[in-house]
Structure 1
């Protein structure tokens, strides 16, 4: 009996292994951007796909920290193998680059900066030699899908065109305005804000005007400027003619958006847009506290305020006046302080080490989910903010650039935090903000929102993995079924302007006919001449 059971178990194992091998997909992933926080969103997706038996070829600037432990994960770096990425992918933005307003000039400046960075990433990508590698490998073992980031450029979509691959784009921040049309996602400028803007709701007239301008103008500039530069770069490196905008429209199956309605609010969606906000959050990250931090938390009597302005911003570059104002206020309030501070020197000598703990790198999720942490002072980057939502912690937010203004206002609109602009940091404003945030309503709202954020039909990671495996199984047929007919229409027909024109002309003709009839009826009738009676 035992021998039979062992034999059956072995046969079952072999069958499962064969089926697993048969269903294993071949994924090509391309993430050329240098920012660690961007690649961090994709890491759990790539790791889970690898652990499920799929083969991954990943071209990226940032290294996967566990790549060596994943047997079917191949890492092709476009960065220098010997590059110290602790200096090139994190803490690279000084606070002098903060943008105090959301004017059209600022939006255009940010667009151009992102464009320039995107073109640099594209040059690294094509000069790496990895393009030739994947083109050759595709002949031996075809790839099933291209997984990539939709952010600052589309030069990598030339590979999707050459290999005829369905595309799954990941938006690691709020969706850029130029990607809405790819999946016929309504931008509705009267209330839907993109990555570039950030206003409190409801939008005032001037804010709606700016939102309309950026929604329409930036997508036009992106298509005529960035995409043309992408096409020229592809022509220069591969000697082929490709229209990356047309490729994106024809071959995009899904866009995975790093957002959730509990934070960003309810917005129009299509079948091709999937919310996966918080996909980077893993249970392992919740337990990564060092003994030094644990000891500091345990000795805190009143709780802790955690200050971190993200992986990209170098908080230690803050100017002395603001730094001194912050320290003065923090000394006056009861909470102890854990502060992500990149410099080896403390911001001020002789600060009480029982009150202040400065760390060069903070295990952010583990700290935010710790019961002793009462408040999170963030820059409103989307990863840190979603981690605060997950853990149910109120927020003080100082946006520096990009989508941080949008994220901060969304959280403030939800009643879970306050925005304090960088230029407004002084003793009085900080005291007022902390006093307001000490009200119980902020903590209770944060816990309520956390329950909604975490209670989903599928986890964000399950949603992301389902989308990739669905597209791998059905290929371009899935794209064909998912696509909206609207992307094939020109703007005149899409907005029914032809129908409106016919109706307008019909009303004009009807009006003219009515006027002519009215004028005719208003004319005096001629008196009929009477014939003389015969005698």
Structure 2
């Protein structure tokens, strides 16, 4: 019902409405013209290089790249995932079909063997991605024509090959990661890595590892970094040398990265000792929730006690679980009053359709945002984890590979959820985990955590865009911490400790020399007496 006429403002009642609207339109029109001029004059030419074929990674980066284009910048993207309806200022150089996809390809199991398999997968794909990208005709033409770019944004994951392209184009670099840091990131950026409190990308223990886990981390850290430097990075340099004869060592170029945008936020991952050029932008990819499909909405609305969502992401294949693991989950489901939604990749699962909704693809953000979603069982991928904390959904984290063990530890330490290792998956253990996160007090704490997650001076997406533009505008400056330039023996104070040890030993040496001389004198006197 429209407001009563007597309640309308005086200027409308006095017949000045038309004039006021006209002035308002003129002011807005002038503002948009000025805004357009300012945006156009500050538009940057940005090159994005994302040669890894992991869809779960690019889902995150896509939001960032699209936002750069939305801000009026001209964005060219090298990736396996070209846009179908790209705006005029967004151009794709497609690497699609140059590498095998990895969706739904990882079984639900975890052991030292699978960790070593991940190491060799990273080195192999790092080599293959570099070769495929440099062989691409459009990439070669881009470099030969010396296209002018104000900044290059690229993924820092399994290869440094893209740094060679950025060097040839003479553009400053902003690195991005869709997860926690890889082992080879710490030294190049001057970030302290101490296995006593810094989580290791591929292992359990979080910030409170046992002695066994600290030894484990140290050995795996040496192994991962060594193979990366000796195999992947060296191969990338050889591949680059086939096309260019003036590329510096890739580790040298990596140390010149202006900023690294990391998918962290201290509310989830805890406080880390990051230098000023490592920027936390965790959660920038999380989109606003949309209306669920009708059948899924009907299923959720019919759940008197709410729903629990289960998904192991785009890489881990739920349907590859053993029969024992499947029965453990189904058994826990049967003991709870809630209904379940499960991302399941085959048609083989036999279950009560009134209790369980399964699909090969599900709108995860829209499900997590629903008021009836009470818990989320996940592999603890960083994307889904940040979506859960964004919408305040408690988690049962069962890590499988990659950074997931470290993420699961952060989930538990932050209070977002509990972790359950694959080897511990039984009906009883899973039921206990679900009951813990479904407890009203636990859920209330997660709501408080989610609220704190959102309280930032600048949104994570605005933060990512700001520092990208900053790097382009102030490319002559270096923002690297001095710690990245200090030789390792100085970084760990080996020379200082050596000197202090020698100084501490001087009195002992002096006493030893004095005793030796005294003994010799006494022995000499005894010889003379005899």
Q: Which bracket does the TM-score occupy, shorter chain normalised?
A: 0.7 to 0.9
Displacement of 1:465 in angstroms is: 0.5
Say which of 269, 272, 279 aligns to 1:264.
Answer: 269
Q: Is the 8 A contact 2:198 2:207 kept in 1?
A: no
3-state SS in 2 of match to 1:312: coil
Displacement of 1:18 in angstroms is: 3.3
* Whole-angstrom distance in 1 between the partners of 2:68 and 2:81: 18
Displacement of 1:33 in angstroms is: 0.9
3-state SS in 1 of match to 2:258: strand
Q: What's the counterpart of residue 347 of structure 1? A: 349
Equivalent residues in 2 for 1:97-496, closer than 5 Å: 98-100=109-111, 103=112, 107-139=115-147, 142-249=148-255, 251-283=256-288, 286-343=289-346, 345-348=347-350, 351-475=351-475, 477-478=476-477, 480=478, 482-496=479-493
Closer/same/farther in 2, CA of residues 298 and 143 from structure 1, 3 Å limit: same
Q: What's the counterpart of residue 529 of structure 1? A: none
Displacement of 1:497 in angstroms is: 2.4
Could you report, residue by residue, the CA deviation over 1:153-202 in whole angstroms, capped at 9, with x for unpaired residues?
A: 11111112212222111111110010111211111221101312221552
Instruction: Please identify, of 406-415 and 25-34, the stretch whose mean Cα deviation from structure 2 is larger.
Output: 406-415
Could you report, residue by residue, the CA deviation over 1:12-47 in whole angstroms, capped at 9, with x for unpaired residues?
A: 655543332221111110001111110011111111
How many residues are aligned here?
Answer: 502
Displacement of 1:10 in angstroms is: 6.8
Equivalent residues in 2 for 1:518-529, closer than 5 Å: none
Closer/same/farther in 2, CA of residues 516 and 238 from structure 1, 3 Å limit: closer
* Whole-angstrom distance in 1 between the partners of 2:227 and 2:445: 40
Could you report, residue by residue, the CA deviation over 1:428-470 in whole angstroms, capped at 9, with x for unpaired residues?
A: 3333333333433321221121112111121111110111010
Q: Is the 8 A contact 2:379 2:398 kept in 1?
A: yes
Instruction: Please identify, of 424-433 and 173-182, the stretch whose mean Cα deviation from structure 2 is larger.
Output: 424-433
* Whole-angstrom distance in 1 between the partners of 2:464 and 2:450: 21
* Whole-angstrom distance in 1 between the partners of 2:191 and 2:348: 48
Q: Is the 8 A contact 1:59 1:130 kept in 2?
A: no
* Whole-angstrom distance in 2 between the partners of 1:399 and 1:254: 29
Q: Is the 8 A contact 2:196 2:208 kept in 1?
A: no
* Whole-angstrom distance in 1 between the partners of 2:114 and 2:361: 30
Displacement of 1:5 in angstroms is: 9.8
Closer/same/farther in 2, CA of residues 15 and 321 from structure 1, 3 Å limit: closer
Closer/same/farther in 2, CA of residues 335 and 8 from structure 1, 3 Å limit: closer
Q: Which runs of 5 or more structure 1 residues have no equivalent in the other structure?
A: 525-535
Displacement of 1:137 in angstroms is: 4.5
Equivalent residues in 2 for 1:82-97, closer than 5 Å: 88=101, 90-95=103-108
3-state SS in 2 of match to 1:358: strand
Displacement of 1:510 in angstroms is: 4.6
Q: What's the counterpart of residue 44 of structure 2? A: 25
* Whole-angstrom distance in 2 between the partners of 1:314 and 1:189: 31
Q: Is the 8 A contact 1:190 1:212 kept in 2?
A: no
Displacement of 1:306 in angstroms is: 0.7
* Whole-angstrom distance in 2 between the partners of 1:128 and 1:396: 43
Displacement of 1:371 in angstroms is: 1.1
* Whole-angstrom distance in 1 between the partners of 2:221 and 2:52: 23
Displacement of 1:106 in angstroms is: 5.1
* Whole-angstrom distance in 1 between the partners of 2:23 and 2:312: 61
Q: Which runs of 5 or more structure 2 residues have no equivalent in the other structure?
A: 1-18, 523-530
Instruction: Please identify, of 44-53 and 236-245, the stretch whose mean Cα deviation from structure 2 is larger.
Output: 236-245
Computed over aligned residues only, the root mean square deviation of the Cα atoms, in angstroms, reads 2.7
Instruction: Give TM-score, length-normalised by structure 2.
Output: 0.87
Q: What's the counterpart of residue 530 of structure 1? A: none
Could you report, residue by residue, the CA deviation over 1:100-148 in whole angstroms, capped at 9, with x for unpaired residues?
A: 4xx4x65443211111122222222112223223214534xx1011111
